[in-house]
Amino acid sequence: MGEPVIDVHTHVVPKGWPELSAICGGSGWPWLRVDSERDAMIMVGEVEFRPIGAECWDAGVRLSDMDADGVDVQVISPTPVFFSYDRPADQAVKVARIFNDLTLEIAAAAADRLIPFCQVPLQDPDAACAELDRCLAAGHRGVEIGNHVGDRDLDDEGIVTFLQHCAGVGAPVFVHPWDMPTSPRIDRWMARWLTGMPAETHLSVLALILGGVFDRVPRSLRLCFAHGGGSFPFWLGRADNAWRRRGDVVRGRSAHPPSHYVDRFFVDTVVFAPAALRLLIDTMGEDQVVLGSDYPYPLGERPVGQVVRKAPFLTLEQRVKLLSANARRFLGLPPREV
C-alpha cells in the first residue's frame, strides 16, 4: 500500500499506579489486582471490573501484536473507567495527571509507533484545558474524552468551551462511550456494551448536531467517534426526516439537517462486518472513516483491519484512505510522514 497503517482506537492500562485514595482523596477508586506477570484484574473498590493482560501495559507485547496484524502505528488512549468525571474536579485532575504521565512512559518504548492521547477532568472546563496543555507540552498528541459528563452531553457549554480550546491548539479529540445506563434489562449478556454503547454514541453525535455545536465551533476541530459512530449512521435518514417533519421539537439549534454535518467528524471501523462497513462509507463518506480496533479488549477487532482488508467492494484508493490517509488528517499528520 505504501503508507503506514494507523489504528486510532486502542487503549492502555499501566501495570501499577499509586494508591489513588492516598493521593487524590475519596474512596472506591480503581486499583489493579496483579494475578501474574501477564494477567491482572481491574478492580473498582472490591468489584471485579475487567480482566486484562500484559498487552495493556507491555509495549513489547503490543508491538508484536501490531506486527502480526500489519499495523504500523497505534494511537494509545486511556481506558474510560479512569475518567473520574463523577468526582470532585481536584481529584479528577490528580488522577488524570497520574495516568497521563504513565501513558507517556508506555509510549516512550516506541515513540515512532505509539501515539499517546491523554485524559482530562472534563467536569471542569478550565482544569480540562490546563491539563490538555500540560500534556501536549509533555508529548501527548491528542485527547480522549467520554461522550458525556453525568447528564451533560457534548453540547453543554463547558464541554463546548473545551472543544473550542482543542480546535485552537490543534488537538484531535477521540470520543468514547462510557458510563452507560444500567437496569435489570441491560445488565445481562453484556447488553450495556452491545446496545448501550452504540446508543450513547448516537445520542452524543445528535447532541453536537441538534445542539448547534457544529454551527459554532471552527471546522478546524478534529473529532472522531468510536465504534463506527454507534447507531447514528444507520439512523441518519430517520434523524433527517424528523428534522424536516417535526422541526418544532427536533431541530434544536442546528441550522441544517443532520446529514449536512457528516463531514465534521470521523468514525472508526470497529463494525466487524463488510455490510456494516459499506453502510458506514455510504453514509459518512469514504473520507470520514478511519481504522480502529478497540485493541486489546475482547470486543475489539483482531486481526486489526480485517474488515477493511477483506471488504470486496473497496477500491485500492479507498483502502489507503481507511487504513492510513484519513487517520493522518484526523491526527494532523502531513501526508506520508509519521
Per-residue pLDDT reduced to its tens digit, 157-195: 999 999 999 999 999 999 999 988 888 999 899 888 889
Q: Phi/psi class of residue 145: alpha, beta or left (left: φ > 0; alpha: ψ in -120 to 50)? A: beta
pTM of the model: 0.96
Query: What's the pLDDT band for 1 if we cut at 50, 70, 90?
Result: very low
Give start and end residues of each alpha helix (H) in the chain.
20-24, 59-69, 89-108, 125-138, 157-169, 191, 197-210, 236-245, 247-250, 274-284, 306-310, 316-320, 326-331
Question: What pLDDT, on the 0 to 100 scale, is given for residue 252?
Answer: 83
pLDDT tens column, 35-66: 988 999 999 988 899 999 999 999 999 999 99
Instruction: Kindly tell me if the per-residue pLDDT of 337 is higher than 70.
Output: no
Q: Would you say 328 and 334 are in contact if contact means Cβ atoms under 8 Å apart? A: yes
Model confidence at 13, pLDDT cuts 50, 70, 90, reads very high
- Is pLDDT above 60 for 246? yes
